[in-house]
Every structure is written in C-alpha cells, then in structure tokens.
Amino acid sequence: MEKPKIIAIYGSPRREGNTATLLKKAVEGARDGGAEVEEIVLRDLKMSPCLEIYGCKNAGECRLKDDFQTARDQILAAQGLMLASPVFFYTVSAHTKILMDRFQSLWVKKYWIDDTGKKSPSAERKALFISVGATRGKKLFDGILLSLKYFFDVIDMKLWKTLLYRGLDFEGDVLKFPEYLDEAYEAGKEFANTLKV
C-alpha cells in the first residue's frame, strides 16, 4: 500500500518554540505510523501577503510569483495537513495568515470561476491543528477556529483533530508537560493510520 502523504506546516516565527516542538512530535508519530511527511517552515519562505489586486480573477492563479505556488501545490497534493500556529492576538501568526490569505486565489477559482465551491470536501483530506497561547481564557482559540473553518473549506480539508494548549509562553515551556508531547506524538501516529483507510 502506498504511504499516505502529509504536509506539516510550522507557522510560528520561533524555530524551537512550543508549537514547533509539538509539531515535531506529531511528525515523528506520523512517520512511525507509516506516513510520508514533508515539512514547511513558513518563516523560511519568501511569501508576500495578498495584495488584493485580484490578478486571480481570470484563471484562479495568483499573479504574485513567490514561494506560495510551491507550498500551495504541496498542500493540495497531500491527503493530510498538520498545521501548527501560536495564538497571536487571538488569531494565527502573521506567517500563517499570509499563507491563508494567498489561498484567496483558490477561493476565487472555486466560487467565482468554476462555481464548485459548495461541493462537499473530499472525505480523505484531513487536518490536524496544533496551537498554544500564553493565557488561559475560555475563548483563547475561538478566533483561530473560526478562521480555520473557512480556510479548510477553501482547501477541501476537514478538521480531524485539534491539540490546543493554554498557559505556554516562553520557548521551552511545553517541555515541562511531557504529556502534551506524548499526546502530539500519538495524534500524529493516529493521523497517519486514519489516512490509510
């Protein structure tokens, strides 16, 4: 059987931060679970924010040519997406948001050009989302989850599981909670297995 393909996206500017540490564990778990995992570190990419020029109106193709096109193709080719972003002002990090906004070109293709937007997403494409924030409020992840609902709709992904941790601020804070790391590893492994069926 062919290995399921997963794309793992590191959305924090910190390379060794809390979300990166958790995502690395999930990647390890997914590989142990038999998936082929490609990793994208958003801070290493050259990606302009969406300039809202709607160059995509003709063919659904973004007119800004940078690392977005490669990232988009990797994301669309994968059966699974593991995305990790910290909470920044109750939404995702700027790096993550830039990537999301550039997918407006796909939204234009689906809703304005092809008119296929309302079709239900393929059951096989699933996403695992990991996030952390420093505070502990009940609504800490509400903004992000609402954004993601609409983003995943555009890229035909279903949110399979979330790993959301409160009270983590400084680099390395997550290491004080080995149970979170275990949970991320197990989630990655289970994710790989879910994608196989």
Ligand X SMILES: Cc1cc2nc3c(=O)[nH]c(=O)nc-3n(C[C@H](O)[C@H](O)[C@H](O)COP(=O)(O)O)c2cc1C
Quote the least distance from Cβ 183 to ligand X, whole Å: 16
State both tokens at 66: 């940078």
Give the separation between CA 183 and CA 156, rounded to whole angstroms.
26
Quote the least distance from Cβ 24 to ligand X, whole Å: 11
Considering the complex, state which of residue 107 and residue 165 has its C-beta at the smaller distance from ligand X: 165
Considering the complex, state which of residue 19 and residue 79 has its C-beta at the smaller distance from ligand X: 19
Listing DSSP states for 159-178 in one string gives EEEEEEE-S--STTGGGG-H
Give the separation between CA 189 and CA 129, rounded to whole angstroms.
14
Residues found near ligand X in the complex (CB under 6 A):
12, 14, 17-20, 86-90, 132-135, 140, 168-169, 171
Quote the least distance from Cβ 17 to ligand X, whole Å: 2
Considering the complex, state which of residue 83 and residue 106 has its C-beta at the smaller distance from ligand X: 83
Count of beta carbons in the 10 Å neighbourhood of residue 172: 11
Quote the least distance from Cβ 39 to ligand X, whole Å: 15
Question: Closest residue (Cβ) to ligand X?
Answer: 17
Give the separation between CA 61 and CA 72, rounded to whole angstroms.
11
Considering the complex, state which of residue 108 and residue 132 has its C-beta at the smaller distance from ligand X: 132
Task: Please state the φ and ψ torsions of residue 72, each to the nearest 5 degrees.
Answer: -60, -45
Quote the least distance from Cβ 145 to ligand X, whole Å: 14
Give the separation between CA 80 and CA 128, rounded to whole angstroms.
8
Considering the complex, state which of residue 51 and residue 175 has its C-beta at the smaller distance from ligand X: 175
Considering the complex, state which of residue 169 and residue 182 has its C-beta at the smaller distance from ligand X: 169
* Chain position carrying tokens 């969406």: 50
Listing DSSP states for 68-122 in one string gives HHHHHHHHHH-SEEEEEEE-BTTB--HHHHHHHHHTHHHHHIIIIIS--TTSPPP
Quote the least distance from Cβ 173 to ligand X, whole Å: 6
